[in-house]
Each structure stands twice: as structure tokens, then as C-alpha cells.
């Protein structure tokens, strides 16, 4: 069964950044089979027509780093110093269960799809629940089970996440939409021996690894005093780095770190809004991109970045980077769109399959309604996407050739039912949070 998106401005994000005004995209099954101008569209036969109505038709966004199930905790413990260790870890250790992970994942999936995200990379506990939700919604994702040196919500043993991940990977490996992965939390929460065991297993099983890296000041100080070098240099000497690593944050990196990451093929998930919110240094993401590294954008979890869509990150990315550099030439609007689409595809090792609208690629496509007052008039398409559009301007989201959202309505999911479940579970969380708040602030 074919589908044809007609009457759109096709922002392809291919190598030459081709834009086709008044164009169409033909989809056969889950793949793009033809792109062209409306005047060249031959009789589309029995293809189902999707009218873009003059809007922007572009590749779906790729969110390279998040913890989607944390949406049930969104807004808790804001502005607390050392929030990860004083608030988030105790919250997860004491009340997080499979049900919360499932409900949180479903809530975030609605937000992601409505915001035009078609692929994301997740790291959390009970990741099998996330995978089932992703499958129900029809999204594409890299899903990593978190591994920690302490007992965690789904494991009574330190590093129990390794065994969970092995089971999880054997269950989901080969799935058309889900790429299972290992997710050691960070080099400061996993020791060298376990990191190398994970690297060996990831090679053996042919799966990616995703990990927070060079994100915390205490992490940098710890590696400096223990080894006299940065975590990135330490991990390279150890033989841990590879093109299979999706590294989140990379805030505290110097020029030599960038060369090390580049020569090892490590992908960077730049979490511009979450980093700004937590008062960290601005990551040198444009320098990484310029050096030829794979760079994409991530929201981080809904406690850190609060929202999950990538569209809102684009403007923050250019504005924060320009301000930090005191130079408006450091990154362009088109580069921001590239990082949010093709860049993310490269980081996740999916550049041959997604990230652009090209013949033979998977049909992960969105439509942005440009007739809205907050976007009109449109003189420059990249500017319209990066500086004017909001997630609510996304009116169609397609993943793998399937329409998941049209006219802001989810096709296969009852949004109201999900929100009722969220409301129910939030009562329990609120009670516990009040107690935790007292403890954390005392
Ligand atoms: Zn994170």
C-alpha cells in the first residue's frame, strides 16, 4: 500500500540540503520510494493521499538522549543542589516500579510523537516496559538498560543491570523498530572492570552502548585526582571507546578530548536545555561538529529538561551557543536542523536508514503547519523551523511509513486514558515527594 504526501515544502536534509517547494513524497510500505515536484507527480493510482497543505515536510526529529519514564517525576525537586544524588536516586530506589515506568513511558511517547520526534535513545530501569510501550505506539528507539555499581530499582545486586540487559537484548535484538542497548550510567557510577565487560558483551552481541560522560564537575575532579587525566582520555587508554558509544552531555571536554572522541568514532548527544537548566558549562558542540564528530541533540530526562521534543531545542542550541561564543557565526539555523535530524541519525548509527528524506530511506516524516500566526510569513524555511515553530505546529508524524499522529490526534492511542493513569500514579508520588523533600532539604 502506497502513501503520498502532497503539496508540501520538502526539506530533505540530504547532503546538498535540497529543498523542493510544492513537492511530494511517495512512500511504499515503510520506505520512501520517490520525491519530486508536484508538476512531476504521475497519477498516484490508489496511493493514500496526505495533503501537507503548503506546510513543511521534513524528516522526523531524533532525540539522542532521554529517560522517558521520568515524566511521572517531572517538576519535582527543582533547583536543588546535587539533585541527582540527593533527590533522583533516592526517589528511584524507594518507589520506582514497573508500573511507573510503563505509565511514564506512555505519557512521554504522546509528547514525543506530538512534537515530531520519530526516533529516540532512552536509558532507564525496567527497560522492557519501555520497549513494550514503544512497540504499542509504533515508535523507533534505541533502548538501554541502566547499569550501576549500586543496587537499582530493578536489581538487588550492584551491576545487576548487566544480567537484565543481556535478557532484554536477546528478547528485542532484530526487532524492526527497537535497538536494545547497554546503558552503564556513567564512568563515575561504574568501575573500569565492569565497563570493559560491557564493552566486550556489546561487541559480542552487536549492540550500542549509551552512557553519560564528562557531565559533572565532581566526575572531572575524581578522574583528575585518581588518574591525572580526563575521563575521556582514561576511557580511551582502557580501550572502552568505540563508534558504538553514544555519549550524553560531553560538557567538560577540551580540544584534545574532542580529537580522542573523533578518532574513536564516539557519537555526542548534546543536551543543551538540560545543561543550561542545571547551570553547567556550555558544551562545545559546534566545535565537535566542526571537527567532524557525530553530534545530535537530546532533551535528557523530563526531570532535567522537562520537555521531550527536539523542535524546542533547535532555537536554544543556536542561541545559547552564539551567546557563549559572543559570535553569531558559530552555528546556523540549518546546522541546528541538521543536528536534530541527520546528526542524531549518525549518533545512533542509523544514518543509512533515517534522518533525511531520500529515496530508499525509512519513511520517518513529519509535517509542520506553517500557516500558523506564530510562523507567518515564511521567507527562510530553516529560520521558520528553528526560531518560530513550536511543537504544537507539528500536525502529522509518520514512523516507518505509518501515520502515528494526524491533526494533533494520536491514531492508535487513547490520550485521555494515559492521562488518567498519570493522574492516579502522581498522587502516590506526591505523597512520597513531600517526605523526600523534607529529608533532602534538611
Ligand atoms: Zn541523562
CA of 240 to the centre of ligand 1 (A): 20
Q: Is 70 in the same domain as 34?
A: no
Count of domains forming the chain: 2
User: What residue numbers bound the domain in which 257 lies?
Assistant: 61-347
Residues 6+ apart with CB under 8 A from 40: none
- Domain membership of residue 417 (yes or no) is no
Q: Is 41 in the same domain as 174?
A: no
CA of 332 to the centre of ligand 1 (A): 26
> Residue 84 has what pLDDT?
82
Q: Is 247 in the same domain as 297?
A: yes
Q: Is 317 in the same domain as 285?
A: yes
Q: Is 291 in the same domain as 212?
A: yes
- Domain membership of residue 434 (yes or no) is no
Q: Is 334 in the same domain as 381?
A: no
The residues placing their C-beta within 5 Å of ligand 1, an ion, are 300
Gyration radius of the chain over CA positions: 21
CA of 248 to the centre of ligand 1 (A): 7
- Domain membership of residue 420 (yes or no) is no
Domain finish residue from 323, 347, 371 = 347
> Residue 421 has what pLDDT?
97
Per-residue pLDDT of the chain (442 residues; tens, 9 = 90+): 899 999 999 999 999 999 999 999 999 999 999 999 999 998 767 899 999 999 999 999 999 999 999 999 999 988 888 888 888 888 899 999 999 999 999 999 999 999 999 999 999 999 999 999 999 999 999 999 999 999 999 999 999 999 999 999 999 999 999 999 999 999 999 999 999 999 999 999 999 999 999 999 999 999 999 999 999 999 999 999 999 999 999 999 999 999 999 999 999 999 999 999 989 999 999 999 999 999 999 999 999 999 999 999 999 999 999 999 999 999 999 999 999 999 999 999 999 999 999 999 999 999 999 999 999 999 999 999 999 999 999 999 999 999 999 999 999 889 999 999 999 999 999 999 888 888 877 7
The strand pairing partners of 152, in sequence order, are 155
> Residue 44 has what pLDDT?
66
> Residue 430 has what pLDDT?
93
Question: Which residue stretches of 71-118 are H helix?
Answer: 83, 89-95, 98-114
Domain with 378 in it: what CATH number? Answer: 2.30.40.10
Q: Is 309 in the same domain as 372?
A: no
CA of 352 to the centre of ligand 1 (A): 26
> Residue 405 has what pLDDT?
98
> Residue 412 has what pLDDT?
84
Closest CA to 278 of 300, 304, 306, 302: 304
CA of 364 to the centre of ligand 1 (A): 25
Distance of CA 105 to the CA centre of its chain: 13
CA of 249 to the centre of ligand 1 (A): 8
- Domain membership of residue 425 (yes or no) is no
Q: Is 199 in the same domain as 246?
A: yes
Q: Is 140 in the same domain as 186?
A: yes
Q: Is 284 in the same domain as 405?
A: no
CA distances from 312 to 79, 116, 137, 366, 390 (A): 21, 11, 22, 15, 7
Question: Contact at 8 Å (CB) between 142 and 121?
Answer: yes
Is the bond leading into 377 cis (omega within 30 degrees of zero)?
yes
- Domain membership of residue 353 (yes or no) is no
Amino acid at each position: 500500500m502506497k502513501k503520498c504526501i502532497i503539496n508540501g515544502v520538502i526539506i530533505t536534509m540530504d547532503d546538498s540540503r535540497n529543498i523542493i517547494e510544492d513537492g511530494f513524497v511517495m512512500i511504499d510500505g515503510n520506505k520512501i520510494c520517490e520525491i519530486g515536484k508536484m508538476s512531476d507527480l504521475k497519477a498516484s493510482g490508489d496511493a493514500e493521499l496526505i495533503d501537507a497543505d503548503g506546510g513543511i515536510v521534513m524528516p522526523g526529529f531524533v532525540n539522542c538522549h532521554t529517560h522517558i519514564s521520568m515524566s511521572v517525576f517531572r517538576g519535582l525537586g527543582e533547583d536543588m543542589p546535587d539533585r541527582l544524588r540527593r533527590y533522583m536516586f533516592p526517589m528511584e530506589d524507594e518507589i520506582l516500579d514497573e508500573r511507573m515506568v510503563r505509565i511514564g513511558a506512555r505519557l512521554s511517547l504522546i509528547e514525543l510523537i506530538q512534537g515530531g520526534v520519530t526516533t529516540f535513545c532512552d536509558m532507564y530501569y525496567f527497560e522492557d516496559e519501555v520497549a513494550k510501550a514503544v512497540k504499542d505506539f509504533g515508535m523507533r528507539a534505541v533502548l538501554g538498560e541502566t547499569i550501576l555499581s549500586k543496587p537499582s530499582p530493578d536489581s538487588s545486586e550492584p551491576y545487576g543491570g548487566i544480567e537484565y540487559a543481556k535478557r532484554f537484548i536477546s528478547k528485542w535484538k532484530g526487532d524492526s523498530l527497537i535497538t536494545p542497548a547497554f546503558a552503564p550510567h556513567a564512568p563515575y557510577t561504574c568501575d573500569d572492570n565492569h565497563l570493559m565487560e560491557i564493552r566486550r558483551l556489546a561487541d559480542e552481541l552487536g549492540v550500542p552502548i549509551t552512557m553519560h560522560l564528562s557531565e559533572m564537575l565532581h566526575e572531572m575532579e575524581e578522574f583528575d585526582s585518581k588518574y591525572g587525566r580526563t575521563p575521556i582520555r582514561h576511557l580511551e587508554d582502557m580501550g572502552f571507546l568505540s563508534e558504538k558509544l553514544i555519549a550524553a552531555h560531553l560538557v567538560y571536554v577540551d580540544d584534545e578530548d574532542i580529537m580522542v572522541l573523533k578518532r574513536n568514532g564516539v557519537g555526542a548527544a548534546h543536551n543543551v536545555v538540560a545543561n543550561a537548566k542545571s547551570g553547567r558549562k556550555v558544551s562545545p558542540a559546534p566545535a565537535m561538529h566542526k571537527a567532524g564528530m557525530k553530534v545530535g541533540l537530546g532533551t535528557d530526562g523530563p526531570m532535567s529538561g522537562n520537555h521531550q521534543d527536539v523542535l524546542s531545542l533547535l532555537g536554544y542550541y543556536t542561541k545559547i551557543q552564539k551567546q557563549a561564543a559572543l559570535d553569531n557565526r558559530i552555528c546556523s539555523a540549518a546546522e541546528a536542523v541538521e543536528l536534530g535530524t541527520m546528526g542524531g541519525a549518525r549518533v545512533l548509527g542509523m544514518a543509512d536508514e533515517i534522518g533525511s528524506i531520500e529515496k530508499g530511506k525509512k519513511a520517518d516524516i513529519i509535517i509542520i503547519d506553517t500557516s500558523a500566526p506564530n510562523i507567518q510569513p515564511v521567507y527562510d524555511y530553516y529560520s521558520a523551523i528553528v526560531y518560530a515553530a513550536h511543537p504544537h505546529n507539528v500536525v502529522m508524524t509518520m514512523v516507518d511509513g505509518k501515520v502515528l499522529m494526524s491533526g494533533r490526534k494520536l491514531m492508535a492511542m487513547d490520550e485521555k486514558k494515559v492521562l488518567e493513569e498519570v493522574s492516579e500514579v502522581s498522587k502516590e508520588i506526591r505523597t512520597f515527594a513531600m517526605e523526600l523533600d523534607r529529608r533532602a532539604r534538611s
